[in-house]
Chain A
Amino acid sequence: MKKTAFTALTMIALLALLVGGCGTPVPTAAPTTPPPPEATTPPEATTPPEPVIGTTYKLGFFSSITGPTSSLGVPERNTAEMIAAQLEEAGGVTGPDGVIHPIEVIIYDDESNPEIAATVASRLIEEDEVDAIVGGSGSGPSLAVVPLMQEAEIPYVSMASSRSIIRNPETAETYKWCFKTPQENFHSGGWQAAYVEGMGWDQVCDIYSNDGYGQDCLAQTTAAMTEKGIEVSYSDSFEPADTEFPQIASVVASGCDALVIGAVPPGAALVTVAAREGAPDLPVVLGHGVCNATMISAAGEAAEGTVFPCGKMMYADGLPDDDPQKELLLKYREDYMAFTGEGPEGLSTFGGHAYDGLLWVVEAMGSLEEGLDVTARRAAIRDYIETNITDWPGTGGVFNVTPEDHLGLTYEALGFVKVENGTWVYFPPEEW
């Protein structure tokens, strides 16, 4: 029928509109896009005040803007946009040869899905031909892109916590091209075990979210507890979309001294609330994944009295002045709030992980000479991060990246906090 044919044509037209929809009319079938002008040869530097504009560097970024881990991915995305805006304002980075390079930050959403993460990573590597990639809010998406990064030989900084992102779990070999910035569950578990030991408890229960992060939490917490002779007498997972928490009945039945929850909000908040209702007297210890305001707003009064290890971001103003991170943390907080227009409730350590990773790469880009091709730039950025990020104060801690350790943080990167009156209070071991 004519009508069908007409509709078909309309649809095709609509698609064509979308395909070519952004300013540059790109005909779908003809290769008209010329390759971007490569490396403008720097003219003889006659007048020093006249800045020389060199190659535009491309920095790829992806985070879980939607999906279950979006409470991590959204502040990370905001941070990336903030840095992009700051770079735009500054005009880019200046290389050692005085050439200014604009930096284009390309942002994608991995939808909290490892497969989509792999797709957008391929896009960043092959289509956008970026010089380095920062991305991956969750361990799943990050793990999915590691083989791609290794194969394409492109420096990659993850914002997720699992150690397997930077080290092959079977061979214990460090991946050459992969780095990450967040503190690990290994550190977090250590704090939890120290606290449980300090309180004189010998049996804990563990509830964790049914994803890569929760699983790693359980593994690391169990390892740390076992080392101190504390028994994890019951553990079970939950889904962030759950509305009932039958696990609490098992927690009560098992008679443990404290409940450890390994999850991110809002899931972690729901379990905390359920635990407070089902077992009001049971102390709750959380992991470093709950260091954002979502936790407190979603759990309300149930969050009161919970303790957890947490990066220094949330209580930066309470840090001593000689703390190497303090200045940077305060600056980040101020910038972030000014950029997003949110109050302090918008802050999270996750945005900080993105900040650290992006700054590593931007700093590395600033060390590049003009005239390198993309392969050489990628290699140089990787080498710079591996060798030059030492005693480097970031939001997540003071980093000391080495060829063996592509994270470079220790136990001290985290502090211990307690929730009191709806805010985080520094809760050092002396006060336990």
Chain B
Amino acid sequence: MQREGWRRHQISIGIGVFAIVIFLLGWLEMAQPMGFEFSDITGGIVTFDTLIRVGLLTTVVVGLNMLMGHAGQISLGQAGFYAIGAYVSAIMTTKAANRGINVLFPGAIGEDWWWPWLMILAGMVITGGIAYLIGRPVLRLKGHYLAMGTLGVGLIIFVLFREGGTFTGAADGVGSVPRLSIGSFEFWPRDRYYFLVWAVALAVMWLSLNIVNSRVGRGLRAIEGSELAAQTMGVDIEKFKLQVFVLSTVYASIAGSLYAHYQTLVNPTPFGFVGSLDLVIMAALGGLASIWGAPFGVAIVYVIKEVLRARLSTLLRGAGGEHEIIIFGVLLVLIMIFMPQGLSYAAGRAFAWLRNPSRREREEPLDRLPEKAT
């Protein structure tokens, strides 16, 4: 058990270092020493706004990583759960707060600072509950059937929000979502919100890393290797898969709520099939088997897009999104061909190589993920 203790130690150190980096970036933006702000580091290419969005999606992708990399379950419907969090928060802090709820809870509900936080919690409970109910049957499916099942669930959620009439604002969505605050301390301007978002992302990463490295995590890895073997060893697969699925959707819901309070407008566009696909791309780019890959996977997608956006229009006059799309597609293909295990893995390899270029590494199989489900 000494080994496990060391692993936990490692996790704490890793999270700590990461937290310091995140804190420094935030401090830079907040204090702006000598007028020097975050985006200057990148030559004005990556904006602070991007950093916050990376934090939001990291929270979602960590869940997806656990589900796909550690429990071997593909989800193509994660954006649907992200949507539930966003819509619960948006609706309950605007329309519903103004209308019906006041009857149940007399007083200035919806204006009290704790109300939005309570609704984030409500979003988590609702999302987790829905995930639990549909997870039981859907998780019995395997491989591409599971992908299809989750895709279906995600799209059904999406369509219900889009067709929700005045309740969900249909295509216009719900606007004027309030900012979050504790007492009179408002999580705004933007740099304050940044700390909130990343605190959540780090907490989620820390929790997931500990789960992955616990007894449960070993069970999960067993599933990833071979479900049959895990079952024989007395691992309750059904239960583990379901728990991880519910947890990943709860992550998505928290991120969705934070998104709603950040964007202040929630409409259906980001939550469709393309949204779910983007999340899977991010998870794969970061490395499916690694929780640490999540922030990098999200960041690389945003950075590529931001770089292309910032640079292409000056390189090619009149270049619109088409060039962005083309180059993004090419990069995605190249990364997946040459780094099939994602950036975090490739970075680890490069780091090991830099430390000791002469050391001949054992030839590892290109991919540790299970082979095609048959």
A and B touch in the complex (CB under 8 A): yes
State which of B303, B307, B321, B361 has its C-beta within 8 Å of the C-beta of A66: B321
Q: Mark A119-132, 1 if CB is under 8 A from B, else 0.
A: 11011001100000
* Contact A108-B346, Cβ < 8 Å, known A19-B43, A22-B315: no
How many residues on the B side are at the interface (Cβ–Cβ under 8 A)? 56
Chain A CB within 8 A of B18 CB: no
Residue of B nearest to A211 (CB): B171
State which of A7, A19, A122, A143 has its C-beta within 8 Å of the C-beta of B45: A19
CB of B39 within 8 A of CB of A126, answer yes
Chain A CB within 8 A of B170 CB: yes
State which of A4, A15, A33 has its C-beta within 8 Å of the C-beta of B349: A4
How many residues on the A side are at the interface (Cβ–Cβ under 8 A)? 58
* Contact A210-B171, Cβ < 8 Å, known A115-B263, A122-B49, A123-B49: yes
State which of B307, B335, B363 has its C-beta within 8 Å of the C-beta of A11: B335
Minimum CB–CB distance for A39 against chain B, Å: 16
CB of A140 within 8 A of CB of B269, answer yes
Q: What's the Cα separation between A29 and B41 when bound, in Å?
A: 6
Residue of B nearest to A123 (CB): B47
Chain A CB within 8 A of B325 CB: yes
Chain A CB within 8 A of B258 CB: no
State which of B265, B315, B320 has its C-beta within 8 Å of the C-beta of A147: B265
**Complex interface: chain B residues within 8 A of A22 (CB):** 311, 314-315
Q: Mark A6-28, 1 if CB is under 8 A from B, else 0.
A: 01111100010011111000111
**Complex interface: chain A residues within 8 A of B49 (CB):** 118-119, 122-123, 126
CB of B265 within 8 A of CB of A114, answer yes
Q: Mark A135-174, 1 if CB is under 8 A from B, else 0.
A: 0000110011001000000000000001010001010000
Chain A CB within 8 A of B310 CB: yes
State which of A18, A111, A143 has its C-beta within 8 Å of the C-beta of B175: A143
CB of B47 within 8 A of CB of A114, answer no
Chain A CB within 8 A of B36 CB: yes
State which of B162, B263, B315, B361 has its C-beta within 8 Å of the C-beta of A21: B315
**Complex interface: chain A residues within 8 A of B171 (CB):** 140, 210-212, 214-215
* Contact A119-B320, Cβ < 8 Å, known A8-B347, A11-B338, A29-B41: no
CB of B47 within 8 A of CB of A7, answer no
CB of B41 within 8 A of CB of A108, answer no
**Complex interface: chain B residues within 8 A of A119 (CB):** 47, 49-50, 53
Minimum CB–CB distance for B144 against chain A, Å: 24
Residue of A nearest to B50 (CB): A119
CB of B263 within 8 A of CB of A143, answer no
**Complex interface: chain B residues within 8 A of A253 (CB):** none
State which of A21, A27, A81, A127 has its C-beta within 8 Å of the C-beta of B318: A81
CB of A114 within 8 A of CB of B269, answer yes
Q: What 8 new A-B contacts, CB under 8 Å, besides A26-B45, A28-B42?
A: A19-B307, A22-B314, A26-B43, A31-B36, A65-B322, A113-B270, A147-B176, A210-B162
Residues in chain B within 8 A of chain A (CB atoms) = 35-36, 39-45, 47-50, 53, 162, 170-173, 175-176, 263-265, 267, 269-270, 303-304, 307-311, 313-315, 318, 320-322, 324-325, 327, 334-335, 338-339, 346-347, 349-350, 353-354, 361, 363
